[in-house]
Structure 1
Amino acid sequence: MIETENQGCVVNLEYSFARMAVDKAKLCPVDATRSNPAPRVAIILELNGIVLGWAAKGYGGSIRNADGTDLAFQVKASEHAEKALLDNLADIDLAGATAYVTLEPCAKRRRGESCANLLITRKISVVHIANCDPNPDVGALAWKIFHRHNVTVRDFPGDLRNEARRDNSAFFSKFQCSTKMYDGGAFDYNSNGGIRLMGPPGREFKTSWTNRGNGTIYALDYAHNVCLAKNCTEFSQIDDPGRWLEDSHYTKPVNEGEIVIFQNEYGFALVKVMRVSTRTPTTNAELQFEFELRYR
C-alpha cells in the first residue's frame, strides 16, 4: 500500500488512483439504450506517486508534460483507453509504472496488439483492475498473461469495484441477460452463479446452469420447474411446453442440440443448447444457446 503524509493525515494513494480511474470512466460517452453498448473504461498511469496520464474510452485524456503542465488529447470512439494513453506517452519511459484500469485489459484483438501485451511491452510492473471482462471468451485471460510475464495484478477496493460495475451495467448485461423474446448468446456458466436471465425486465426468466462436461450441461431449478423436451430439436416441434413438465425435476442433463424448458409464473422459456465447453488453461467455460419465450 502506498501511503503519504498530507497535513498530518495519511493518504492511501492506491485508493486515490483507483478512485480517479472510476471517476474518469464516467466520462465515456456510452449509449446504454443500444443493443450492443460499448464498455466504460478508463486507465490511470502513475510512477512514484505522480500521475503520468489518463485516458477514457471514446472520450480522451491528458498526459503530464516535463514542465508539470497537462496536455489534453482526444481519441476515436473505438480506441481502447490503454492503447490511446500509451500512444500519447510513446516518448516516456514507463518501466516500473503502475496502471489502474476499470475493466480488464483486452487479451485478444482482431486487429493490432492486445492492451495486455502493450502494457507488458512498456514494462508496466503493476496493474490494478476493477472488474473482470464479462465476455466468456476473454474474461480473466489478462491475469494469465500478466502472471506469465511477472506483472503483479491487484484488485480495486471492493466499493470501487462495485461502483465501476454499476457504471458499466449496460455492458455487463449483454453477457448476463437477454431482453428479447427470441435470441441467443453465450456466457461463462462458472460465473455469476451460473445464472442467465432471459426476457424483458419484470417478466424475465431466471435460468440456472452447472457443469456436466464438454458437450453437455445441467439445467437447474430447485422448484422442480425444469424439464427436457425429449426428441425435440426445433422450437416449432413444441406445441405445448407444459406437456413436458410431467417429467419435471430440479435438475436436467442437457446435451448439445437438445431443448430444455424452464417454467415460471409468466410462462415458459425454451432454451436450445448449441455448444458447451468446459474451462481450460486458456479459455473459460462457455454455454452457447438459442431461446424462445412463450408467455401465457
Structure 2
Amino acid sequence: MYFLTYLHKDEKNYGMLNKNKDKIIPLSEIFKSKTLNDFICTFNESILEEINNLMDSSNLNSIPLSEVKLLAPIPHPKRNIFCLGKNYLDHAKEVVGLPGADDNIPKFPIYFSKIANPAIGHLDIIKNHSEITKMIDYEVELGVIIGKDGINIKEDEAEEYVFGYTIVNDVSARNLQRKHTQWFKGKSLETFCPMGPYIVHKSQIPFPVELDIKCSVNGELRQNSNTKNMIFNIANVISDLSKGMELKAGDIIITGTPSGVGLGFSPFKFLNSKDKVECYIEKIGTLTNFIE
C-alpha cells in the first residue's frame, strides 16, 4: 500500500495507489479523515483489512496519477521531525576532521530536530537562500512514520508502532551548522525538507528494514548504501527515543544518511542553482527536487 497526498484540480486530498501504481484511489470520502496524517492517527487493523478489500475492487473512482501534483505525504507534521546524526559509520568517518564536526563515532544515538512547515514534495524547488548560505548539501534518509502513541517501547515491539516508511532529503546549510555549533538552524530553512513521493505501509517492507538507499546529483551517483548499515537500527532508535518521552502517531523519524554528502568530498560538492537531486530508496521510489 502506497499512500500519498496530492493536488487535483486545485483541491488537496490524500489517497493510495492502485495495484498497477498508475491511478490514485481517493480516501477522504471513504474514511472521513481530512488529511493523511489524521488517517494515520486513526489507523487500525480493521482499516487495514478494509484497505485490502478496496485494492481488489474494480468499482472505485480513481484518478490517473499523471493528472495530479504530488505533495509531501505529510506537508505539516504535528511536531518537529526527529532526526539522527551520524548514524552510518561511513558518513561518521567522512566528516571526521572537517569544520564543525567532531572526531567521535557515536556510542549513543545523536538526536536533533528540524522544522518542516511545510515539507515540500516530489519535483518541488528547494530555495537557495543565497543571502545566507553558499553551502547547501543533500542527505538522503529513510523516514519512519509512527503509527500509534507509545512510551518506553521495547525493541522487540518497535515494529508495532510503525505505520510506514518514506524518503526525506535532509537538506542542510553547512555554514550555518558550523556558525551556530548545532544543526537545528542549518537544517530548518524554508523548503529544506523534501519528503515523499509516498508513504509505504510497513506490511510491504520486511522488518528489520534492509533497503538500498542512494542519492544522485545531475545523474552522478553520490550516495550508495543500504539501511542495514545504520549504526543504530530502527527498533533501537524507537525504543531509545521513547524512553521517558511519548512518541505520537504521525511523528516522523529520519534515520541518518550514508557517506557521499557534498561536505565529504575534497573539494566540497555543494549544490548549485538548477541542480537536480534524486533520492532513491528501494521499495519506496525516487524523490526528485531542483535547486532554485
| Same fold flag (TM > 0.5) | no
Identify, as 1 or 2, the structure richer in strand: 1
Q: Which has the higher contact order (CA 8 A, sep 6+)?
A: 2
TM-score for the superposition, normalised by structure 1? 0.25
* Structure number, greater radius of gyration: 1
